[in-house]
Amino acid sequence: MTTFLQTSESVTEGHPDKLCDQISDAVLDAIFADDSTARVACETLVTRGLVFVTGEITTSSYVDIQAIVRNTVREVGYTDSDYGFDANTCGVIVSINEQSPDIKTGVDEAEEIRGEGAADAIANLGAGDQGSMVGYACRETEDALGTENVFMPLPIYLSHRLAEKLAEVRKNGSLPYLRPDGKSQVTVEYEDGKVRRIDSITLAAQHDPEVSNDTLRRDLNELVIREVVPHNLMDKETKFHINSSGRFVIGGPMADAGLTGRKILVDTYGAGYKHGGGAFSGKDPTKVDRSGAYYARYVAKNVVAAGLAERCEVQLAYVIGRREPASVSVETFGTGTIPSDRIEELVRANFDMTPGAIITQLDLMSADAGRRPRYRRVAAYGHFGRNHINRTDGTHIEVPWERTDKADNLRKEAGLPDEQDS
């Protein structure tokens, strides 16, 4: 038997980088509410007392970016000048340009059909950039937690839930001395590729100055860790590191500058898994950095849900201005229940990976507010594995790239028995 450790981290919605991601996606959501064909690449920087919003945006609508910034900062919890950063007094600078017309030409009409495109503008789209995107899914959370499978690696899943719980107990008044900034980290021990136990749990929570470390550590152990992490995965050897540096009063933008797109592993699958390199937040779905990564996750999750493999990684690559992906790769790490080449064949036959088809299938630019994803809702606590109740406001999060609506057909075409028959 072989054992190894794997560690992943998450951050709270008040972390400076995550605050930027949420502002950028809040701007995107506001523009899409009025103009579903807008081109948006919104970048945000925060530092002491200042929010700077920039990027390239082409739209027929008008949104009050300053109001969006202040509302987002307020909802995250920076509402007190004692925190060194608050929604009412922070400065907001906006410097927005339109998307380059050279890029727009290539995206509006893909190279393969330029000059003879169909009437459907979405179908004509070329990729908004070059690059590689990665999607991943596994049965790990089902095996380890004994609950509905979210098809995510356990270290990142538990790290997200711990960070989310920190925000919940702060906002509901259970631990009113907590402040918005914070981090979590979980190290899982595996044996022969299966979850064996939790080796260590780390929390760092910003707090009011009068709270002692002893009180903080006791409360976070009881009201956060014990409420999130299954007790059967912890043992007497599990290590707990809670505010191990000691005092954490100064946090958020007062302590560190933040930027959109700096937490790409937090946004995806955590350490130990591949990432294409492109960030998600603030980008409209013509940017395959975002839509391609969402679709790769959608494909990988359906492959695993169909029973074709226990683990699946899907890699897509695109060339700017072209529709068809430059490459499609499916890796099952020796866990496939049918030959690997047959899995890839089924993937190619069942999933249209052109940018326009991705946008249409996943309703990524829908003008229908009831169908359109709210991107800000996934800008904190991970873009994947999100079909659950949001701890911070009690609402249900459901995003289209988490659907497994192709699984039954994949299973049937692969010649596998139905789940109820197996």
Is 18 designated active site? yes
Q: For residues 386 and 394, give the distance between their C-alpha atoms in angstroms, rounded to a whole number.
A: 13
Q: Catalytic site residue 214? A: no
For the question of residue 108 being annotated catalytic, the response is: no
Residue among 248, 280, 351, 384 flagged as catalytic? 248
Catalytic residue among 15, 139, 297, 376: 15
Whether the predicted model's global pTM rises above the 0.85 cut: yes
Q: Does the annotation mark 283 as catalytic?
A: yes
Is 17 tagged catalytic? yes
Q: What is the three-class DSSP state of 6?
A: strand
pLDDT in tens, 223-280: 999 999 999 999 999 999 999 988 999 999 999 999 999 999 999 999 989 998 899 9
Question: Distance (Å, rounded) from C-alpha 417 to C-alpha 408?
Answer: 10
In the set 48, 56, 75, 80, the catalytic residue is: 56
Q: What is the dihedral of CA 178, 240, 193, 268, to 10 degrees?
A: 20
Asked whether residue 283 carries a pLDDT value surpassing 80, the answer given is yes
Marked catalytic residue, from 35, 129, 289, 331: 289
Looking at 139, 183, 275, 377, which residue is catalytic? 183
15 as an active site residue: the answer is yes
pLDDT tens-digit series, residues 309-320: 999 999 999 999
Percentage above 70 pLDDT, the chain: 92
289 is annotated as an active-site residue: yes
Let me know how many helices (H) and strands (E) the chain has, helices first: 12, 13
pLDDT in tens, 129-182: 899 999 999 998 887 787 668 999 999 999 999 999 999 999 999 999 999 999
112 is annotated as an active-site residue: no
Catalytic member of 283, 297, 323, 377? 283
8-state DSSP, 376: G
Residue 287 annotated among the catalytic residues of the structure? yes
Q: What is the CA radius of gyration of the chain?
A: 22
Q: Give the active site residue among 33, 123, 255, 257.
A: 257
